Amino acid sequence: MTIRDVEFYLVQVECEAREAPLRSLLVRLSTDQGLEGWGEAHLGWRSSELAARRDALLPILAGRSIFDVEDLLELEPLQPAPLRAALEMASWDLIGWITRQPLCHLFGGRYRSRIPLAVRLPDGKADRVARLARELADRGFHSQVLTLQGRLESDLQMVAAVREGAGERIELRLDAAQRYDMETARDLCAEIESAGVQFVVDPLRDGDLDQIASLRRQVEVPLGVWRSIRGPADVLALVRCGAAPFAVVDLQRVGGIAPARQCAAIARAAGLAASLGGGPSTGVGVAAMLHVAASTPAFAGCNECASYQLEDDLLANPLEVLDGMLTVPQGAGLGVEVDRARLETYQVG
């Protein structure tokens, strides 16, 4: 069975919990037998260039066996990691449909059926964010991620507000988003020692692993690394320098499911705690994350999902949320169906 066509859909979805709309690229692969698979990526493409992008890639993809995923990942035109991840995702979705198996069955089986979530809180005023943290905790989401803005005083006020609003019911992660210098990051960690923070991810501006390792030796709060992990080699470097005990792996940042699982294998062998992270999703990317987490024992931590993704997506049937966890879809492939009517509604240009 071979690839016949590739299509790109740039969508923009207004979300109540976000000031800026969710903007994402959906990729549809179709075969010579009429089957289709979906992937999702975040690329800085404009709607006006999608046709040219398709025309450039189709001659390279057309006629290739849908089963030759590793060969597909080696193609030079697919080197942008998010594009590679989306096309690999769509390929595996198709393989699942062909074999009539959920994706997790193709990666070793359903090690876990429900995936615990770390829900990322939106930016906003402290009282509003604290109120949402409390509401999410009431719904069973006891692991939450707060993004810091790089301004120490206001960030500390936000942490205090969220902790006061949700109390001790939540396990709080802080994403410093590479916004601090060494001195300020050290001050931040000293100030939050009593705040019950699980870990601080990406505390330093340049993301240098050796510098993060130096910070780790100076603070008591556990650290995590996300944005500096672009593939398995970076996890190995993280292990060697001892920068952090927590590794957050992003399917798009590392270039797909296969390299993400390789990252997980290295983390598990080294005793690092690993979880999956990622950007906003219309539902397709979240479904892929669920299957990877379900079939990869190393991803035992709470895997990230934005708060508004619990209500807003482009799926015909919403993902099932229960007690702060998402149920792994049981259908073939990714186990989800894109709602074509909603896709057309939110398509840009």
Q: What is the largest CA-CA distance in the chain?
A: 60
| pLDDT digits 0-9 by tens, 248-272 | 999 999 999 999 999 999 999 999 9
120 shares a domain with 68:
no
Taking CA atoms, 233 is separated from 15, 228, 251, 254, in Å, by: 36, 11, 15, 10
129 shares a domain with 94:
no
The whole-number average pLDDT for the span 180-186 is: 97
pLDDT at res. 220: 96
| pLDDT digits 0-9 by tens, 3-58 | 999 999 999 887 665 556 788 999 999 999 999 999 999 998 999 999 999 999 99
Indicate whether 89 belongs to any domain: yes
Main-chain dihedrals φ then ψ at residue 272, nearest 5 degrees: -80, 145
95 shares a domain with 110:
no
182 shares a domain with 59:
no
Indicate whether 77 belongs to any domain: yes
Dihedral-angle region of residue 175 (phi above 0 means left; psi in -120 to 50 means alpha; beta otherwise): beta
Main-chain dihedrals φ then ψ at residue 58, nearest 5 degrees: -60, -45
Contacts of 215 (CB under 8 A, 6+ apart): 182, 185, 186, 189, 203, 204, 223
pLDDT at res. 18: 54
119 shares a domain with 43:
no
296 shares a domain with 160:
yes
56 shares a domain with 36:
yes
Q: What is the CATH number of the domain that holds 120?
A: 3.20.20.120
Spatial distance between the Cα atoms of 229 and 226, rounded to a whole number of angstroms:
6
143 shares a domain with 245:
yes
pLDDT at res. 311: 61
Indicate whether 301 belongs to any domain: yes
Q: What is the CATH number of the domain that holds 90?
A: 3.30.390.10
Average pLDDT, the chain: 92
State the CB neighbour count (10 A cutoff) for residue 275: 24
84 shares a domain with 184:
no
Domain count, the chain: 2
- Assign 310 a pLDDT band (cuts: 50, 70, 90): low
pLDDT at res. 312: 62
Indicate whether 332 belongs to any domain: no
pLDDT at res. 309: 59
State the CB neighbour count (10 A cutoff) for residue 114: 17
145 shares a domain with 29:
no
Indicate whether 333 belongs to any domain: no
Supply the Cα-derived Rg of the chain in whole angstroms: 20
Is residue 111 classed as helix, strand or coil in its secondary structure?
A: coil
129 shares a domain with 82:
no
261 shares a domain with 155:
yes
Domain range enclosing 37: 3-100+338-346
Indicate whether 176 belongs to any domain: yes
In percent, the amount of the chain with pLDDT more than 90 equals 74
> DSSP characters for 253-305?
HHTSHHHHHHHHHHHHHHT-EEEEE----SSHHHHHHHHHHHH-TT--SPEEE
pTM tops 0.75: yes
